[in-house]
Chain A
Amino acid sequence: MYLRSSFARSFANVFASIMSTKKIPADPIGNVQYHVSRKWASIDQGRASALTTARKLERITEGQPSTDANFVVFGSLARREWTPKSDVDWTLLIDGQADYQHLALAQEIAKRLDKAKFAEPGRTGIFGNMTFSHDLVQKIGGQDDTNQNTTRRILLLLESLAIGRSESRGRVRRLILKQYLNNDYGLRFSTLPFKVPRVLLNDIVRYWRTVTVDFLEKQRMQAGQGWGLRNAKLRMSRKLIFATGLLSCFSCDLLADASARQQLIGRAHSTIAMEEHLRNFMERTPLEILATVVSELRINKRTSIKLFSAYDEFLALMSDSRKRDRLKRLTPDSARGDKIYEEMRKFSHSFQEGLTALFFKDHKRLQELVTFYGVF
């Protein structure tokens, strides 16, 4: 929201401070680029294209979303990594009274996207339809928390953007965080030196592990079709989501205001300030989260360069239609020795090395956190 005056801006700062969100540079990626004296052209291009595309989508769907039914996008657009061949992963997120018009609304959005020649979402059924808030909020864990439900919930937190009206997305994200944190008695009452929302962290880990296992299922069921591209995404963008999900959880310990920790250990063991910290922190894109962490924790330059340069190469490859199509056609049998595949493997290894350095070598507290929470 645009704050019209100095008072309102200063209030926003005070509000942010009291609600335990540290002041973060407006453009954390630009900040990192400045500090390491590098320019990552494909990352910049992806962000600029995402902005243009989001504006276009807002025009296309104008008048359709409401306060209770938001048009929410995921994937590369939400991550601001838009490339010419990206598809639009979207849902109509409904948080309000049941309305038989909701289906027609979702269908109308699909029709408009099709008419504007946006590529359809993948065939998993997770996107391109309606999502209901109650499932996301109430079914965390248990038999009814399906693979689809978990994916939608985690991505709503880590990789989503409302086009046009954003009220229901905002409400649902708040509720999800409330469920994770307020019910996390370890976070609220334990005497551990760390303050990390472990239930949320475990769900993010579960999501990532599920994605990696499902990779195999898709490989079998789709007879290797699209294997090379999925492989690249798994190594890069999916892994980025996981890594920044972990970093978001660790940010409660590393970057949240002291007042948020105070409220947690105070008499009421209130999670409100920590929820607000996480909500604001996770409003950033995964790359912005990564940039925020490397800046705030003063991670060594070599690691920063490794991470962002590798990701920049990934986005460059995704933007190159010829290479992307080639990758998409590769199967497990034809990949070995392929020049494009080898190029992808190389930068994905570099990205992995960067993550390993970030989590396990460059910062003592982060290393302690990942050792404590990462596996057991």
Chain B
Amino acid sequence: MRILGFSTGALAYGDFRRALDILKAKRIRAVELSALREHELAPLVDSLDSLDLSAFEYVSVHCPSSFDKVRESDVIDLLMKIAPRKWPVVVHPNTVYTPSKWNKLSGLMLLENMDKRSSEGRTAAEMAILFERLPYAGLCFDVGHCRQVDSTMNEAYAILTHFQPRLRQVHLSEVNSKSKHDPLSGAAIRAVEQISHLIPEEIPIILESVVSEDEVETEISRAKQALSPVSSNRKVETFYISVG
């Protein structure tokens, strides 16, 4: 059975404690602690000892998505404080100014593929360049970003096929034309169905869909629908029968 969870930033903007309360109440087993803005990272790291995360089978941290080069070492130092917990750390390629510094995180670092606004890390070929510079990094595959770059899902197919051994986590949501994370639409679900068989069962799925507390279960169930291997197989079988 897949492990599905939420990003704290998607559930409660800038308030990870509230997001954790929501997730625990709903018995959700995976969480990504979001510190997307640089000023959120230090408070998050400082509060980790006081957080009860025992309800979660899987915990990861999302590194700030943007900061200046002069801040790179400070950010890495903060992340190193989390390292003993062995939680994966999701990193955007644009924040990796000095690859050698990030190798400290070793296998905990997960590089995320980017949306269309970025100039790197959008496609399989661009990810290959990044992984060459960061050989120890794993992959956090963001389905929404990838679908925004190529809605045929061919690029998703390429990334998942070629970087399968690196895949550690998946980000799931709709990403709209303004690159904002939305709840999964019918079209997004159909797109994910096409590549769900390339995402192994044991890979944690973190939803980044911005939803209200009331919508959490619905979004989880939509994600399950999208990722269900049965639905994609059934689709193929239908073709077989109707045309065959």
A residues near B (Cβ < 8 Å) are: 1, 3-5, 7-8, 11-12, 14-15, 18-19, 67-68, 96-97, 167, 170-171, 174-175, 177-178, 185, 188-189, 267-269, 272, 275-276
* Neighbouring A residues of B124 by C-beta, 8 Å: 15
State which residues 71-112 of B face A: CB under 8 Å: none
- Residues of chain B contacted by A178 (CB below 8 angstroms): 152, 154
- Nearest chain A CB to B115's CB is how many angstroms away? 9
Bound Cα distance A268, B151 (Å): 19
CB-nearest residue of chain A relative to B132? A7
Chain A nearest Cβ from B66, distance in angstroms: 18
A175 touches B236 (CB 8 A): no
* A68–B149 alpha-carbon span in the complex (Å): 11
Asked if B125 and A175 sit within 8 Å, CB to CB, the answer is no
Interface-centre pick from A3, A11, A189, A267 (highest chain B CB count, 10 A): A11
- In the assembled complex, B65 has its CB within 8 A of some CB on chain A: no
Cα-based distance from A68 to B179 in the complex (angstroms) = 12
Q: Determine if A189 and B243 form an interchain contact, defined as CB atoms under 8 angstroms apart.
A: yes
Is the beta-carbon distance between A5 and B132 smaller than 8 angstroms? yes
Within 8 A of A (CB), among B107-130: 116-117, 124-126, 128-129
- Report the minimal beta-carbon distance from B166 to chain A, rounded to whole angstroms: 13
Q: Which of B22-30, B53-61, B155-163, B207-215 lies at the interface?
A: B155-163
Contact of B125 among A1, A167, A177 (CB under 8 A): A1
A12 touches B125 (CB 8 A): yes
Residue of A nearest to B156 (CB): A272
Are A18 and B162 CB-contacts (below 8 A) given A174-B154, A269-B236? yes
- Judged by a CB distance under 8 angstroms, whether B177 is at the interface is yes
Known A-B contacts A175-B151, A175-B152, A272-B157; the reply to A189 vs B117 at CB < 8 A is: no
The distance from the CB of A102 to the nearest CB of chain B, in whole angstroms, is 13
| Contacting pair B126 A96 (CB below 8 A) | no
In the docked arrangement, what's the CA distance between A97 and B157, Å?
25
CB of B108, distance to nearest CB on chain A (Å):
22
Chain B proximity of A182: nearest CB distance (Å): 8
Expressed in whole angstroms, the minimum distance between the Cβ of A142 and any Cβ of chain B is 21
Residue B39 CB within 8 A of the other chain: no
Residues 138-183 (chain B) with a chain A CB within 8 angstroms? 149-152, 154, 157-158, 161-162, 177-178
Residue-by-residue, is B198-209 near A (CB-CB < 8 Å gives 1, otherwise 0)?
000000000000
Given A189-B243, A276-B154, check contact A67 B117 (CB 8 Å).
Answer: yes
User: Which of chain B's residues have a CB closer than 8 A to the CB of A189?
Assistant: 239, 243-244
Q: B149, A171: Cβ atoms under 8 Å? A: yes
Q: How far is the CB of B230 from chain A (nearest CB, A)?
A: 15
Majority SS of interface residues in chain A? helix
Find chain B residues with CB under 8 A from A267 CB: 236
- Is A3 a contact partner of B149 (Cβ separation < 8 A)? no
Give Cα A8 to B116, complex, Å: 21
Residue of B nearest to A19 (CB): B158
6 interchain pairs, CB-CB under 8 A? A3-B125, A15-B125, A97-B178, A170-B150, A174-B150, A178-B152
The distance in angstroms between the C-alpha atoms of A14 and B158, with both chains bound, is 11
**From B154, which residue of chain A is reached at the shortest CB distance?**
A272
Residues of A near B149 (CB, < 8 A) are 167, 171
**Do A171 and B151 touch across chains, with their CB atoms under 8 A apart?**
yes
A8/B157 in contact, CB under 8 A: no
In the bound complex, residues from chain A placing their C-beta under 8 Å from that of B151 are 171, 175
Task: Give CA–CA (A111, B158) in the complex, Å.
Answer: 41
Q: Which residues of B208-244 are within 8 A (CB) of A?
A: 236, 239, 243-244
CB contacts (< 8 Å) of B236 on chain A: these are: 267-269
Q: In the complex, which residues of chain A have a beta carbon less than 8 angstroms from the beta carbon of B128?
A: 7-8, 11-12, 15
Give the Cβ gap from A136 to chain B, nearest Cβ, in Å. Answer: 13
Shortest Cβ distance from residue B34 to the other chain A in the assembled complex, whole angstroms:
25
Residues in B neighbouring A185, C-beta threshold 8 A: 243
- Asked if A269 contacts B239 (CB within 8 A), the reply is yes
- Among residues of A, the one whose C-beta sits closest to the C-beta of B177 is A97
- Give me the 10 closest cross-chain CB pairs, A-B, nearest first: A11-B128, A97-B177, A178-B152, A7-B132, A189-B243, A174-B152, A8-B129, A67-B116, A96-B177, A272-B154
Beta-carbon contact of B152 and A275 below 8 Å: yes
- What is the bound-complex CA distance between A7 and B150, given in angstroms? 24
Contact assessment for B158 and A15 in the assembled complex, using a CB-CB cutoff below 8 Å: yes
Of A4, A7, A167, A275, the residue contacting B116 (CB under 8 A) is A167
List B contacts of A174 (CB < 8 A): 150, 152, 154
Q: How far is the CB of B119 from chain A (nearest CB, A)?
A: 10
Q: Is A171's CB under 8 angstroms from B150's CB? A: yes
A171 contact set on B, CB distance < 8 A = 149-151
Query: Complex formed: what's the CA distance from A330 to B134 in Å?
Result: 64
Residues of A within 8 A of B162 (CB): 11, 14-15, 18
CB contact under 8 A between A68 and B177, given known A5-B132, A174-B152 = yes
Q: Measured between alpha carbons, how far is A275 from B152 in the docked complex, in Å? A: 10
Q: Which residue of chain B has its CB nearest to the CB of A175?
A: B152
What CA separation (Å) do A102 and B132 show in the bound complex?
39
Residue of B nearest to A67 (CB): B116
- Given A67-B117, A171-B149, do A275 and B158 touch, yes or no (CB 8 Å)? no
Complex interface: chain A residues within 8 A of B154 (CB):
174, 178, 272, 275-276
Taken together as a complex, chains A and B put the C-alpha atoms of A18 and B161 apart, in Å, by 10
Measured between C-beta atoms, what is the minimum distance from A173 to chain B in Å?
10
How many angstroms from the CA of A275 to the CA of B155 in the assembled complex? 11
B129 and A4 contacting across the interface, CB-CB below 8 Å: yes
